[in-house]
Each structure stands twice: as structure tokens, then as C-alpha cells.
């Protein structure tokens, strides 16, 4: 798994059919590891590098800026009330500028001991796309320092939407990250090949994702989002009787935090909480448990080239 070869020559993730894999079991024999990841973002009003914003408007892109600002002013707090009511400890996909500019949000997340996944400095910048390996390493090192200065903690994972180079997984492993949440190829954690150390893919979702759901599935709204979440949970929960699975619920305060949508989140969490055998985990807990209990088993399985069960 740790071949000392140029990153461009590494196949990052070996193919392993679900049928025939070693059995994965979660703590207390849970069927499903369920993790919730709010994307808490900071969109600059006047970004220095951008001429056209995410909405297609010239900078300043007021629609993109205002929607994220709504999320931080109102939506985050409405979402937080629901998460607290259902006792959900989250992994937050964080733009680090939020921690600097909105200490109230930072303190609320720290008070709840959330896991932090690095999601760039700002939401409007495409970094680290196009950086050399040395430049990208410096970019992550800057993020680690900034996060520690603002929180006294270390980040455990990264989700940069594959904007980095082919060397990104190597850098994450070498800099002490546990997991990479950019890979959306599986319903279980997966070992990622890196030059040195170990790194795990923890399944993120572009399917059960409120922002993409609402933006690209219009006129679908909260009711349909609840139904898709329920259907996803039911299937994974059933499969979890034989193989421990992962379900990721992706949220954005500037989407789910609107008054007409927040009820969908309440219903989703109420439905999931109505089932036994669910492990409510953070991405860091999922990654660490997998590293401690299943990583080497899967590496040996892949090394033997074992395929699907007959």
C-alpha cells in the first residue's frame, strides 16, 4: 500500500467488489455508521482573485454572497437547534475563514466537540487547483497552523472537492490527516494508497446533499429530500445486517436552514433515531475505527487479489 513510487504511477484505490469483501462490523455490531456533515462556508463579498462569481454574476456576486450570509446569520442556528434536539455530533466541512470572522459559530461548534474537516479557506476560491506539490503542501500547512491558532486543535480530514493535484492524498497522509472525504465511490471506508503512512476514504455524498438536491433537482424540495434520505437509510440499514455500511447526510445551513426546509431535517433525524443498531459517528471516528480494526484486513484482501464471491 505504501509503494515508494511517483504519485502519478499509483492507482489510488484498488477495485474490490462489495460481494466477497471481508466482513466489516461497527462498534456494538451496529449495522450502519451514520454521519452528518454541515458545510459551513464563508463567501467573500469582494474576492481579490475572482471576476465572476458562482452565480455567474460579476464580482461582487451578491446572490452567492447573500445566500451563504443567510446561512451563517440564520440557517446555522436553526439547523443547530434540530441537531441538538436529536443529539447529533457533526463533522463540519469548514471554510477556515468562518472561524475567524464568526467566533459565535466557532464557539458553538467547539462547545459541541464537532469534528472538523478542512474545506478550504473561502468558498469562492478554487484553491488548491493548479498548485505544485510544494505549493499545495504549504497550503495545507498554512491551514493546519491557522486552525490550531483559532481552536487549539488539529483537523482530522479534508474535503476540497478534488481541486488538488494527484499528490493530494500523499500530502494529507504525511501531514497527519486521517481521512479524505473527496472520494464518493463506495458505501464503506476504503484504504487509499499513499507514499507514506495511511489514509482512509470516508464516503461523502453528492447524492444525499441538500445543496445539489435543491439546485439541480428543482422543483424538488423538503418532502422529496426526506423521502430520498429515508429510502437511502432503509436500503443501507437492510444491507448492514451482513456488511457494516456508511450513510452520509450532507447539509448546508444556507439551504436546509430555510423555514420551509428545516422540517425535512427534523423528520430525517427522527426517522433514523427510531432504529436500533445505528452508530452516530463523526468522520474521524469512522476513519479511526476502520484504521484500527479493518484497514489491514482489507489491505491483505486486496493483496491476494480476491474478487467477488461466487
Count CB neighbours of 48 within 10 A: 7
Domain assignment present for 4 = no
Give residue 223's domain range. Answer: 22-303
Q: Cα–Cα–Cα angle for 140, 294, 114, nearest 5°?
A: 45
For the chain, give the percent of residues with pLDDT over 70. Answer: 88
Domain assignment present for 9 = no
Domain assignment present for 309 = no
Domain assignment present for 15 = no
Instruction: Give the confidence band of 7 by pLDDT, cuts at 50, 70, 90.
Output: very low
Domain assignment present for 45 = yes
Residue 98 belongs to domain with CATH number? 3.20.20.370
pLDDT digits (tens, 9 = 90+) for 117-151: 999 999 887 667 778 899 999 999 999 999 999 99
Say what the pTM is. 0.91
Query: In total, how many domains does the chain have?
Result: 1
Domain assignment present for 227 = yes
Domain assignment present for 29 = yes
Amino acid at each position: 500500500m505504501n509503494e515508494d513510487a511517483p504519485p502519478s504511477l499509483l492507482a489510488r484505490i484498488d477495485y474490490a467488489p462489495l460481494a466477497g469483501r471481508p466482513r466489516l462490523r461497527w462498534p456494538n455490531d451496529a449495522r450502519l455508521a451514520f454521519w452528518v456533515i454541515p458545510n459551513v462556508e464563508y463567501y467573500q463579498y469582494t474576492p481579490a482573485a475572482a471576476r465572476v462569481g458562482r452565480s455567474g454574476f460579476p464580482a461582487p456576486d451578491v446572490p452567492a454572497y447573500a445566500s451563504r450570509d443567510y446561512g451563517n446569520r440564520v440557517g446555522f442556528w436553526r439547523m443547530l437547534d434540530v441537531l441538538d434536539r436529536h443529539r447529533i455530533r457533526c463533522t463540519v466541512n469548514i471554510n477556515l475563514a468562518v472561524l475567524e470572522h464568526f467566533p459565535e459559530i466557532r464557539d458553538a461548534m467547539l462547545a459541541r466537540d464537532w469534528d472538523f474537516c478542512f474545506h478550504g479557506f473561502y468558498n469562492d476560491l478554487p484553491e488548491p487547483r493548479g498548485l505544485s506539490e510544494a505549493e499545495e503542501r504549504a497550503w495545507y500547512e498554512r491551514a493546519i497552523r491557522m486552525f490550531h491558532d483559532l481552536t487549539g486543535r488539529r483537523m482530522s480530514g479534508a474535503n476540497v472537492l478534488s481541486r488538488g493535484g494527484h499528490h493530494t492524498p500523499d500530502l494529507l497522509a504525511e501531514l497527519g490527516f486521517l481521512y479524505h472525504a473527496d472520494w464518493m465511490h463506495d458505501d464503506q471506508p476504503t484504504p487509499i494508497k499513499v507514499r507514506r503512512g495511511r489514509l482512509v476514504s470516508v464516503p461523502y455524498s453528492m447524492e444525499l446533499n441538500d445543496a445539489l438536491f435543491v439546485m439541480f433537482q428543482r422543483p424538488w424540495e423538503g418532502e422529496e429530500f426526506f423521502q430520498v434520505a429515508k429510502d437511502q437509510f432503509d436500503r443501507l440499514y437492510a444491507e448492514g445486517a451482513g456488511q457494516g455500511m456508511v450513510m452520509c447526510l450532507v447539509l448546508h445551513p444556507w439551504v436546509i436552514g430555510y423555514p420551509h426546509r428545516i422540517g425535512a431535517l427534523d423528520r430525517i433525524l427522527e426517522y433514523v433515531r427510531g432504529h436500533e443498531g445505528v452508530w452516530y459517528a463523526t468522520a474521524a471516528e469512522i476513519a479511526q475505527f476502520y484504521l484500527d480494526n479493518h484497514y489491514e484486513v482489507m489491505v491483505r484482501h486486496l493483496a491476494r487479489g480476491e474478487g467477488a464471491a461466487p
